[in-house]
Amino acid sequence: MKNLNTYLLFFLGFIFLSFQFSQEEKINNSDKEKKLRELISKTKILELPIFLDVYQENKSAKAIGLSQLINPNNEADLMPVLGILPDTTNYVAFLGYGIGDVAYSMLYIFDKKGNLIENKAICLTDNLNIFEEVDINDETNTVRFFKKDRGTEITLFSSVKGKKYREFESNTENTNLTDSLFFQKIIQTGFLNEKGKVILDEKIIEDCR
């Protein structure tokens, strides 16, 4: 009888804790949905097509508290937002900037309950990994969003002109010290799928020397 009472108390305790956890989870989800609605009200729905120069941060971008939806304990908001991509059927995609050595375009994508699906840099950067030392004379880095067959389509474009001083090989003892001009173009396409994931195709790299 004593063992039965112990098991019964344990079972009732487990049910109580499960109920408490379920209630807390509902409250947290409710808070996220409320915060998401609040952030949507602070910005605007963008119109396609959208064209961005990655290295020229759009002055209309502003901080709206987006970082607090990703991490509620984050008091600093370093995520300027331009607006929301127009397709909000299954997700909400905020287009904005990440801050590093330069500002670069980012997508912060949430489901309708305010849960983060993905935050992803949307640009072509650090593509000159075949060179040890370069002197860049001209550089272009752009992002384009537009509507097409796959939904919200993305085209990334980068072109770099300059001079390379040292091209390294796998065998560093045979490193060639060179001094020549280079011109490289890179294009990468992609789209947002119906689940709010960014799908990028393979890069197309063209050397225009």
Instruction: Name the nearest CA neighbour of 35 among 81, 66, 77, 62.
Output: 66
pLDDT at 131: 46
Q: Which domain holds residue 85?
A: 40-207
At CA 103, angle to CA 69 and CA 186, rounded to 5?
Answer: 115
- The C-alpha atoms of residue 30 and residue 113 are separated, in whole angstroms, by 8
In a domain, 127, yes or no: yes
Residue 103 near residue 123, CB atoms below 8 Å: no
pLDDT at 31: 87
Alpha-carbon separation of residue 52 from 55, 65, 82, 98, 151 (angstroms):
9, 22, 11, 14, 19
In a domain, 69, yes or no: yes
What's the Rg (C-alpha) of the chain? 24
Classify 27 as helix, strand or coil: helix
In a domain, 66, yes or no: yes
In a domain, 124, yes or no: yes
Q: In terms of C-beta distances under 8 Å and separation of at least 24 residues, what long-range contacts does 78-85 make, across chains too?
A: 79/106, 79/108, 81/43, 81/108, 82/43, 82/46, 82/58, 83/43, 83/44, 83/45, 83/46, 84/40, 84/43, 84/44, 84/45, 84/46, 85/46, 85/48, 85/145, 85/152, 85/192
- Residue whose token pair is 């949507």: 40
In a domain, 5, yes or no: no
Q: What is the pTM of this model?
A: 0.74
pLDDT < 50: residue spans in the chain: 2, 11-14, 16-27, 128-131, 168-171
In a domain, 170, yes or no: yes
In a domain, 34, yes or no: no
Q: What proportion of the chain, given as a percentage, has pLDDT over 90?
A: 38
Instruction: Give 140's contacts (C-beta < 8 A, 6+ positions apart).
Output: 53, 157, 158, 159, 160
pLDDT at 30: 77
Which run of H or E residues covers position 52?
strand 50-53
pLDDT at 178: 54
Q: What's the structural domain count of the chain?
A: 1
In a domain, 7, yes or no: no
